Chains A and B, each alone.
Chain A
Amino acid sequence: MNQLLKLEDVWKIYHLGKVKVEVLCGVSLEVNKGEFTAVLGPSGSGKSTLLNVMSCLDIPTSGKVSFEGEDVSNMSEDELASIRGKKIGFVFQQFNLLSHLTALQNVILPTLFQGFTEKEGEKKATEFLNSVGLESRINHRPGELSGGERQRVAIARSLINNPDVIVADEPTGNVDSKTGIKIMEVLKDLNKQGKTVIIVTHDKDLVSYAHRVINIKDGKVQ
């Protein structure tokens, strides 16, 4: 089976006091293995929420989400964590690196929850940091790195557990356009190596890297 993700009539509703906010309104879509998918939409369209649901960070209020054929909509927090740790790598707009850890220690982090020791993770992390061109920056803390370097650390971190899917939420949102292109090239290379890549963006220029574009507006797939 080539299908990786399937969303069927997914709703996500938040209750802010007495106000009911419908962020996702009956979204149905599929993502196949090996695809480079871009979710495009304006600010507040629900694209980040959609990405959270697709990447097992969140569960829908209603509807069904299947990951590799398995229904994850009603899974426990720990079961979802297990899927995230083994099969999904995250790249965030804000990088989300731990400021008190070095680049190397940040990249090692996901391996610790898969039962590896820091020593074991160190070898792999060094390889991945080298592969994104940061061999000379491994002992620097995020505060000592540029935006592009930080995002490359985040990419190395997302790859350390050899996930099937790389999920990136506005990966170029906090870097200059030149660095943004480099980041997108790295993601494209990863896709060529067989990883499924899903990015969320409001930048129409980035969709050229994707095989498929999902347009979202007001919580609905267009």
Chain B
Amino acid sequence: MIKEYFRIAFRNMKVRSLRSWLTILGIVIGIFLITSLMSLSEGLKNSVMAELQMMGGNLIMVMPGDMNDMFTNFIGGMQLENRDIRAIEKVRGVDLVLEMPLEAEIVRYNNESKTSLIYGISYDSGIQLLKEDMGWETVDGRFPYSGRREVMVGNLVPKDIFPGIEVGDEISVKGKKFVVSGVLRSLGNRQDDSTIALDINDFRDITGQREGTPMAVVRIVDGYEVGFVEEGIRYALEETRVRERGEDAPSFSVVSSDAVADMVGNIMGILQAVVIAFASIAIVVGGIGITNTMYTSVRERTKEIGILKAVGAKKKHITSIFLVESGVIGFIGGVGGVVLGILLAKSIEMFFQIHPVFFIEAHVSFSLMFFALGFSFLVGCISGFFPSRSAAKMEPVDALRYE
């Protein structure tokens, strides 16, 4: 019988096709929002989390300023100075401190000049930390050696920045020549994958920055508790700044890699909850549209209901006919919304691949699609519940008499 209900539903929708499509559109919009925004936010979360997961649990990030106002700190150019770095190095349990200063410079390759982000790391000690604790790998060539004027480039440099650049090629930064020793595996975001790494001494030399880094990565000695070392760093930095510079309230952010991962995970979770909440409003509106359409349909089909009852239809049959119809409206809306949502999400992904402002990947999971389709069918059924109940309650004689 269920097959017959679907047949009846499609037949009725065909009879009132314009109204059916307009009602479906209401659900399409809601599901479209959920699918596109969820797949984009999920993709964003996955790439950020993947990057964070590359980091080992024995790392601590140190940044100047308050963590909650990272953007302002960065734009304001707040940096850790050499004395801060030295203070961190002296803390018990600290094995290694890696500075990563950044600068935009004009890089030249094969008569082509482009502004690119370069960063400096210590080839002597930093490479080891990047490989062992942050999971960095090369897909071509090898990691650079200190003192040889070598650079390593991000995964997208040979693709987008300097197409065709290979290991062994020469680039120049501010007139100084370097050889590309290796190409890194993707770090998970477009910005990092588009940078060029120099030895910190060369970096300082070229940029003229004698000191300062917007962030330092600290590796702790095996056996030391992360929390203990975190506290030690915080104390040492406060001491340094208060004693040596006379700052009133020095502000630092000292966080472990696990804490960063948790924090980002939470932020992304909140972001997705907000997305669902807003998209749900659209779906509720679509659902009200279905209810309205179904009530109109019940009224228009009063005589039909009477005929069906006269020829033996029970309440459950009438209820099912209208419920399946509203469910089908919801489901078709869901299918349309999922398809359009995926198209939009993939288009955005492609747009940012062509225009690399930042890296974003649309993650369209089967669970998201099943959720969207199931949810739309459910919304359809719930919206059709009261209209179908009112149809089932009609007295056959009254319904037959209706004109």
Q: Which residues of A are in contact with B by a Cβ distance under 8 Å?
A: 52, 57-58, 77-78, 81-82, 84-86, 90, 92, 96-98, 100-101, 109-110, 112-115, 117-118, 157, 161
Contacts and interface: CB of A to CB of B under 8 A. Distances in A.
B249 interface: no
A84 B7 contact: no
Chain B binding surface SS class? helix
Contacts of B11: 100-101
Interface string B296-340: 000000011011111111111100000000000000000000000
A113 B15 contact: no
B4 A114 contact: no
A100 B400 CA distance: 17
A78 B314 contact: yes
B302 to A, nearest CB: 12
Interface residues of B, number: 25
A98 B300 CA distance: 12
A113 B307 contact: no
Interface string B391-403: 0000111001000
Given A84-B311, A96-B400, 17 more contacts: A57-B397, A58-B396, A77-B396, A81-B313, A84-B309, A84-B310, A85-B313, A86-B312, A90-B310, A92-B400, A96-B310, A97-B307, A110-B312, A112-B317, A113-B308, A115-B1, A118-B7
A96 B307 contact: yes
Contact of B303 (A82, A85, A96, A114): A96
A82 B317 CA distance: 12
Interface of B: 1, 3-4, 7, 11-12, 15, 303-304, 306-317, 395-397, 400
Contacts of B395: 58, 77
Contacts of A112: 1, 4, 317
A109 B304 CA distance: 11
A82 B312 contact: yes
Given A96-B303, A115-B1, A117-B3, A161 B312 contact: yes
Contacts of A96: 303, 306-307, 310, 400
A109 B321 CA distance: 13
B110 to A, nearest CB: 71
A113 B312 contact: yes
Contact of A100 (B3, B15, B311, B313): B15
Contact of B315 (A77, A86, A90, A98): A77
